[in-house]
Chains A and B, each alone.
Chain A
Amino acid sequence: MTTSVNHADIYKLARHYRFQWEDAQQCYVLLFPEGMIKLNGGAGEVIKRVDGNKTVGDVVQELEATFPDVPDIQKDILAMFDLAVEKAWLEKIE
């Protein structure tokens, strides 16, 4: 699959976005002006690790280690990054 995201890239949460765990919904959410996204389990695990320091590759490695039974997890992670970048939830650190 084609992706705009490279392993060496570093992302952080876009300005004005907040990421937090919600007890009432039992999921992670992204909050931003005029909107919110409820993240499913996998998406939450990805965004949780995006901190402006780790590379995409680091995130993939961590998740592969945490969820060794999930087949082809890297593909899902990169797809999640693609979506998050496309939606402007994440900003690339240049």
Chain B
Amino acid sequence: MTQASLGESVVQKVVHAQNNGVDASKTHTQPLWLLAEVTYRCPLHCAFCYNPTDYDKHTKNELTTEQWIDALRDARKLGALQLGISGGEPLLRDDIEDIVIEARKLGYYSNLITSGVGLTEKRITAFKEGGLDHIQLSMHDITEEINNFITNTKTFELKKKVAAMIKNHGYPMVLNVVIHRYNIGHIKEILEMAEALGADYVELANTQYYGWSLINRNQLMPTKEQIDHAETVTNEFRAKVGKKMQIFFVVPDYFSDRPKKCMNGWGEVFMIVTANGDVLPCHSARVLPNMQFPNVKERGLEWAWKDSPAFNKYRGDDWMKSPCRTCPEKEKDLGGCRCQAFMLTGDAEIADPVCSLSPHHHVIEKAIEDSKNPQLQAQPIVFRTDKNSKKFVNDELPELIKEFHALP
């Protein structure tokens, strides 16, 4: 739903906790994190959503409650511990209460990742009784104008109410704020708002460019100077606020010299089950060519994780090409993101172009330049709506995707 679970922050938090490097891979991986993207339907229309632009194809073939519960059970047997219930907006389903109860019984630490739209006293009480462990709320800005603009909805006041509701029910307050050009100048105020709301954790997730955010890249990308400043402000705030509020600043990969260790490695610790039952090693894996992803309706999760060709394809480093293959840093980042490599260069097995050692790094430099071009900046944002999604499905917006090698 938000970019929270997409970014490195979540991944890194697993990494420093344990030894999850490549060495331990291939035969001993476990899907410690299960992300259940239970629906792609969403009342918000965020311009930076990482969901696939053709999500509209998957809104009428969602898994049933029973199928979700089976998936939870199977993943738990494989070692899954952290459960994210995400979307779209998961609260658009009326069976989240049942899923939460089952998750608790199975021993998951469960997290509802929500925009807050649809959260009522009645539902949150049921979640608490059912054993939901925490709720991650997306916030967008301190100003009503920008919140409502970037989500293309009027949800600002509602979000503040929901934040209070979460706190009143004794939940840890986890706020996720996706950062982009329109709110990056307000980091200090956003953190002050988080503190005032009593947030325990704040994720400042710089937009990464997948799905809708890739389409809107020129309109969303801040400058390097803005990001550096935002990080400085964050560090100052962190020093001031101490341990009572943990702040994670997810650095945007376009401005790094090296790529992120995407998903902490392909098929290493993350497993995603999408609304229609596809089982993926990362959120956007369906953009990759010549890949058949497993579906829970066909075979179980054990086969998907351990034996499916898709999950094994990029485990370890046998698949790597030059310059990654001989790179002394290859284990640090595993060559970055396969989806980004393919989307931006047309080859899924070369270095993520974010890497300054990639022979295709110029595509990133061009993207950064383009985002400074006033003419491109002024193009209208394409909001995440069913109508726009249908247009992408029907190939009615070819201009917007012509520079990418797959539909974002």
Contact = CB atoms under 8 A, between A and B. Distances in A.
B136 interface: yes
Contact of A35 (B14, B107, B171): B14
Interface size band for B: 20 to 34
Contact of B201 (A15, A29, A31, A34): A34
Interface of B: 4, 9-10, 13-14, 17-18, 30, 32, 77-79, 81-82, 107, 109, 111, 133-134, 136, 171-172, 174, 200-201, 203, 243, 246, 248
A36 interface: yes
A35 B200 contact: no
A31 B109 CA distance: 7
Contacts of A18: 109, 133
B112 to A, nearest CB: 11
Contacts of A32: 109
A37 interface: yes
A16 B203 contact: no
Interface in A17-32: 18, 20, 22, 24-25, 29, 31-32
Contacts of B79: 22, 24-25
Contacts of A31: 81-82, 109, 133
> Which of A33, A34, A37, A88 neighbours the largest number of chain B CB atoms within 10 Å of its CB?
A34
Contacts of A12: none
Nearest to A23: B79
Contacts of A38: 17-18
A33 B243 contact: no
Nearest to A29: B81
Interface of A: 15-16, 18, 20, 22, 24-25, 29, 31-38, 88
28 contacts: A16-B200, A18-B133, A20-B107, A24-B30, A24-B77, A24-B78, A25-B30, A31-B81, A32-B109, A33-B136, A33-B174, A33-B200, A33-B201, A34-B4, A34-B10, A34-B13, A34-B111, A34-B174, A34-B201, A35-B10, A35-B13, A35-B82, A36-B14, A36-B17, A36-B82, A37-B18, A38-B17, A88-B246
Q: Is the interface of B mostly helix, strand, loop or mixed?
A: mixed
A36 B109 contact: yes
A4 B107 CA distance: 33
Contacts of A88: 243, 246
Contacts of A34: 4, 9-10, 13, 111, 136, 174, 201, 203, 248
A38 B18 CA distance: 6
B159 to A, nearest CB: 18
A18 B131 CA distance: 12
A76 B243 CA distance: 24
A16 B82 contact: no
Given A16-B200, A18-B109, A25-B30, A33 B77 contact: no
